[in-house]
Structure 1
Amino acid sequence: MRKHLRTAVRLRRPVDTWHKPALSAAAALAVPDLTLLALGRLDLVLYTSAGAMCALYAHGLPYAARARTLLWVVLGMVVSLGVALTAASLTASPVLLVVGASLVAAAHKTLCDATRIGPPGNLILTFIASSAFFMPQRIGDVPLHLALALAAGAVAWLVCMAPVLVRPHGPERLAVARALESAAALWRLRREGAEPRDGRDAALRDTELTARQAVAGAVNSAWHTLFLIPGADPARARLERLLAHAESALAAPCEGRTRTPAHEAERCAAQARAIRSRGALPEIGPTPGDPRRPAEVTAEAGTATERETRTAADAAHTVPAAPRRPAPDRVTGVRAVLARLRPGSPLLPIGVRVAVGCTLAGWVSLAAGVGHPYWAVVSAASIHQANSTLSGQRALQRVLGNALGLILFFALLPLIRVGPLAMVLLALALQIGAEALITRNYWLGSVCVTPMALLLTEFGGRLPAGTLIADRLIDTVVGVAVGLACCAVVTNRRATDRIDEALARVTAARSAALHRLGEGGGAGGGPDREDGPAVGDGDRESGWARDRLALSLSLVELREAFEVASGEWWQRSLPAERVAAAEREGHRTLARLVRHAAPRVPVS
């Protein structure tokens, strides 16, 4: 229990790009808010905020993909708002409105998890839509309010796309830089001449396995990012070479001797720093102090073992013969989303938890006479995470953050009462503060989110501060308590089934990879040839085998599935030993694939 408490409140290092969604959202909010202030119509802030808050999404995507994704987010927000406003105009029954808000919240959670949209996930969509369900509304005003949301969404789209004019390859550069930084961390863990002798060495191997998993995840994410860029883009080719260098860290043996681990660590770190800068992309060239070409260095190795230990460093000099493509059987887009929502999907019980929890929380809030039952709905929706353990941690974070946020709201009341301009500027400052802090921990970000939510209520009409604070506190406690109860009642036994499916995928991908490695071991080129595999169809198929094992999320999803199932309180016995063995063998096979698939084309 104490460990879970520490985990729930512990502060992490801030995400390196927190300022991008923070400033984007602030800019997207400032334009409509200041316009409405000039027109004296701050009562319409909720509708414009619906579109403007879409600026928080898709900042990790290349700009072409970001444009498409943001369009879908804006349309999803407008549709959700339209459903909420239409329901509010057709019925005044708060009981029915709570049901409607809960069903929309469940749809948001399920679809955001299925599309893997990333932070802030379903929470922003649910907050705006749930609030709109309880806004007094006339059916004739709905088109105007939706038009305001759509216009603000267009502003958010333009704000998020504006950086393409000054840094057109920023997102993909960042993804590759993160992969190189993970590779540098892995190289730092390795020691020359280390042989396992005692428990400390076993612990070191466990730490290195964790680092290898981090590298595989970062490389996987970076390849997915590069796959979204047209193959003819010249910057993509150079980024592929740099990403291949990061990926080469996986090719080095987990134990044993590597050529220059300290040098490789510094090299990866230096490349990451160069990529993050605004200068030209660094070139992959010969190792300083070694003027020979990689093929010459590799050819001097007298044994297969020596060649193997040199491969990781030599792979840094390789140049892709053509833009790398994902495996042809890789499922993407709408088909991938539908596959994650198939009958029996582990995402569906989470959606049921949200629907039931939000409905009951809203009804309890109504029974308690609270004037803002949608806050209870949002609180219940916000705590439902991938499993019960994470939901319990989020519940603690929600209560702690909201309590401190209410104290901050009370302290800011004199400034809020100054006038409308002060309210607008304070809302923008809180938005930036929320994004700056929420990457450290959810509860810390909630300290700013809570007064911002209360400010949004103030724009529609001033209410006694004591009433607002009491309603928010009661709804938070009610939503958290009911949400946790639903986690216990609505079980997710399908989480264990997901482990079995992931194990089957890893086994199939590894078998195909080993078959491919066996084909490559003869005259056609393979890991034991001094000049490496030939570039061509065989090499492309080796790359696809690697993609199916790593980039298709086989290994990554296995780890995620096991962690999710481990956090559910009612599960059958988990196959921990099978998972550990599958991960260990899978990463060994992945290392062989990295060595096998990398073409040896020297850079002069």
Structure 2
Amino acid sequence: MHGLPRYAPDNSRLDHCRTALKHSVTPATWRRAFEVRTVDATIAPAIRVGVATALVLVLGGLLGHGNLAGLGALGALTSAFGRYEPYPRLARKAGFVGIALIAYVAAGALLGAAGWAVWWQIALTSVAAGVAAWLLTAFRIVGPGPVILIFAATAAVGYARDLADVGPAVGAVAGGVAVGWLAVMTPYLFVPLGPARLAVARALTAVSELGRAGEDGALVSARRAVDHAWDVMAHNGRSRDAHSRQLLALLADAEAVVERWASDRDSATLRALVEHESELRKVKRRSHLPGIECRDGDLPARDRFLPDGIRRLRSRDAALNAARIAVAALLAGCFCVAVGLEHPLWASMGAMAAMQGVTFSQTVQRGIQRLSGNVAGAVLAAALIATALGYWQTVVVIVVLQTVTELVVIKSYAFASVVITPMALLLTGLGSAVTPDIAVSRVIDTAVGVVIGVIVSAAAISRKDHHHVA
């Protein structure tokens, strides 16, 4: 027996999980969660979403279907996805989200009408959460995320009492989707090159940082911004337009400066290019860019939205991430039922929202932001609900909160969560009477979801994920 080799247990994965969990409670991690990022071009997308939400809620009230207006408003959130995308690609992505919203509301309404036990509701919602994350990741659709699909589905579960309720629920969300899609595409009629102008302007901003402190990082950022601008130009669908050809020339010159920067710091050309940045940020159909000649050039190949998305569905990483989210949502919901909490599906959504980060560090950041924002938002929600607002006053408040959300969500998800919470509860109140106590339930259920989401993420962390290691 002495000749047999001894095998020591491999504790490296366990140690990696412990390090991840320690990271989630360090003061530095919590401080970073409340950092405010500097972003640009937030006003137009926010107004777009606010107008779409207002139209749906006003139409619902005028038609005497205020109880369905909340579902319609969730459909209008189609307009919140894919901001800054070139319009031809945005049309496909917003349409895809709209179809998914209709499908999820239909499934939720059928589940509510069936009257199945809450355990079945949690199980099916958890699977749906994983599928939603899988789809939006594979098709590279950015925005509020898959949690909106689950929120819409759970709202439909609460609304539908029998099969007769399924049709109105689906009709309401379909109407909202139509309004949202039109809202997001209407600017194409007036500023068709808007996303391309913004992408080129951002590329010029990144290129202008060359030569400053942290040169290596500035060079990487400049290359990334230029590559993104080329991608947007390839999808804008107006390459023969004179202004589009000027943008191509400007972008080609910017790329040349970046590529030669290590050996030839052409500061004069750089300054001349950057002078056009402020003009491109103006909301205009076209601009004359002095000194920039129209130029034709080779554009990168366009991605194929449907075939490429279907191909990425076969990605092992995307499938594993979807499975993690489904497991966390299931555990959070079941825990809430086991301890007698009132809204287990909210806990499932909390776990899902926290786990939308690509890395464990991002998951923790998002979890902290969502939890802290929910606490502050619950206080605001309880105060608003206690005032017993009428339908039209509630509509005004919801539209304001939705617009503020879109203004700040990219800057700070924590601050956005402060207004998301009362907005979500007021939307819930359009379909059924709610009391200020519901805000407390929201905080508790979200806390359960966030904690379980972080624990599951730590347990399933990839060995390659070291973003949380100092």
Q: TM-score, normalised to structure 2's length?
A: 0.88
Identify which of 11, 15, 21 aligns with 2:45.
Answer: 21
> Does the alignment pair 1:180 with 2:200?
no
Matched residues in 2 for 1:75 and 1:420: separation?
A: 28
CA 120–267 in structure 1, closer or farther in 2 if over 3 Å, else same: farther
Identify which of 148, 155, 161 aligns with 1:137.
Answer: 161
1:434 counterpart residue number:
405
1:268 counterpart residue number:
273
Do 2:246 and 2:293's aligned partners in 1 also have CA atoms closer than 8 Å? no
Residues 238-277 of structure 1: pairs in structure 2 closer than 5 A: 238-254=246-262, 258-259=265-266, 261=267, 263-277=268-282
Do 2:61 and 2:69's aligned partners in 1 also have CA atoms closer than 8 Å? no
CA 566–142 in structure 1, closer or farther in 2 if over 3 Å, else same: same
SS of 1:566's equivalent?
A: coil
1:50 counterpart residue number:
74
> Does the alignment pair 1:83 with 2:83?
no
> Does the alignment pair 1:486 with 2:460?
no
CA 163–144 in structure 1, closer or farther in 2 if over 3 Å, else same: same
SS of 2:209's equivalent?
A: helix
Amino acid at match of 1:17: A
> Does the alignment pair 1:353 with 2:358?
no
Amino acid at match of 1:248: A
Matched residues in 2 for 1:380 and 1:395: separation?
A: 8
CA 128–458 in structure 1, closer or farther in 2 if over 3 Å, else same: same
Matched residues in 1 for 2:362 and 2:88: separation?
A: 34
2:32 counterpart residue number:
7
Matched residues in 2 for 1:7 and 1:265: separation?
A: 34
Counting aligned pairs with the same residue, the percent is 28
Amino acid at match of 1:141: D
> Does the alignment pair 1:401 with 2:403?
no
- 1:331 Cα shift? 5.8
Matched residues in 2 for 1:153 and 1:181: separation?
A: 35
1:70 counterpart residue number:
94
Amino acid at match of 1:473: V
Do 2:105 and 2:156's aligned partners in 1 also have CA atoms closer than 8 Å? yes
Structure 2: gaps of 5 or more residues: 1-25
Amino acid at match of 2:258: L
Do 2:194 and 2:285's aligned partners in 1 also have CA atoms closer than 8 Å? no
CA 396–408 in structure 1, closer or farther in 2 if over 3 Å, else same: same
> Does the alignment pair 1:566 with 2:456?
no
Matched residues in 2 for 1:443 and 1:471: separation?
A: 19
1:386 counterpart residue number:
358
CA 394–132 in structure 1, closer or farther in 2 if over 3 Å, else same: same
Identify which of 206, 215, 224 aligns with 1:208.
Answer: 215
Matched residues in 1 for 2:68 and 2:90: separation?
A: 28
Q: TM-score, normalised to structure 1's length?
A: 0.69
CA 222–394 in structure 1, closer or farther in 2 if over 3 Å, else same: same
SS of 2:224's equivalent?
A: helix
- 1:389 Cα shift? 1.7
Amino acid at match of 2:276: Q
Amino acid at match of 1:226: M
Do 1:108 and 1:122's aligned partners in 2 also have CA atoms closer than 8 Å? yes
Identify which of 307, 311, 315 aligns with 1:339.
Answer: 311
Do 1:81 and 1:129's aligned partners in 2 also have CA atoms closer than 8 Å? yes
Residues 294-309 of structure 1: pairs in structure 2 closer than 5 A: none
SS of 1:181's equivalent?
A: helix
Residues 475-554 of structure 1: pairs in structure 2 closer than 5 A: 475-493=445-463, 496=464
After superposition, the C-alpha distances for 1:81-137 in whole angstroms (9 at most, x for unaligned) are 111111222232111111111111111111111111112222322322233234333
- Pairs aligned (count): 441
CA 177–331 in structure 1, closer or farther in 2 if over 3 Å, else same: closer
Structure 1: gaps of 5 or more residues: 190-203, 286-316, 497-564, 570-604
CA RMSD across the alignment: 2.2
CA 229–257 in structure 1, closer or farther in 2 if over 3 Å, else same: closer
> Does the alignment pair 1:465 with 2:436?
yes
Matched residues in 2 for 1:350 and 1:445: separation?
A: 25
Matched residues in 1 for 2:264 and 2:160: separation?
A: 70
1:102 counterpart residue number:
126
Matched residues in 2 for 1:42 and 1:249: separation?
A: 57
Amino acid at match of 2:215: E
- 1:401 Cα shift? 0.5
CA 280–34 in structure 1, closer or farther in 2 if over 3 Å, else same: closer
- 1:357 Cα shift? 0.3
Do 1:400 and 1:443's aligned partners in 2 also have CA atoms closer than 8 Å? yes
Identify which of 281, 286, 291 aligns with 2:287.
Answer: 281
Amino acid at match of 1:181: T
Matched residues in 2 for 1:64 and 1:342: separation?
A: 25
SS of 1:464's equivalent?
A: coil
1:308 counterpart residue number:
none
CA 279–456 in structure 1, closer or farther in 2 if over 3 Å, else same: closer
Amino acid at match of 2:453: G
- 1:264 Cα shift? 4.1
> Does the alignment pair 1:451 with 2:422?
yes
Do 2:75 and 2:180's aligned partners in 1 also have CA atoms closer than 8 Å? yes
CA 42–25 in structure 1, closer or farther in 2 if over 3 Å, else same: same
Matched residues in 2 for 1:101 and 1:46: separation?
A: 20
> Does the alignment pair 1:218 with 2:189?
no
Matched residues in 2 for 1:107 and 1:568: separation?
A: 27
- 1:379 Cα shift? 0.5
Do 1:184 and 1:265's aligned partners in 2 also have CA atoms closer than 8 Å? yes
> Which structure has the larger Rg?
1
- 1:370 Cα shift? 2.4
Do 1:379 and 1:480's aligned partners in 2 also have CA atoms closer than 8 Å? yes
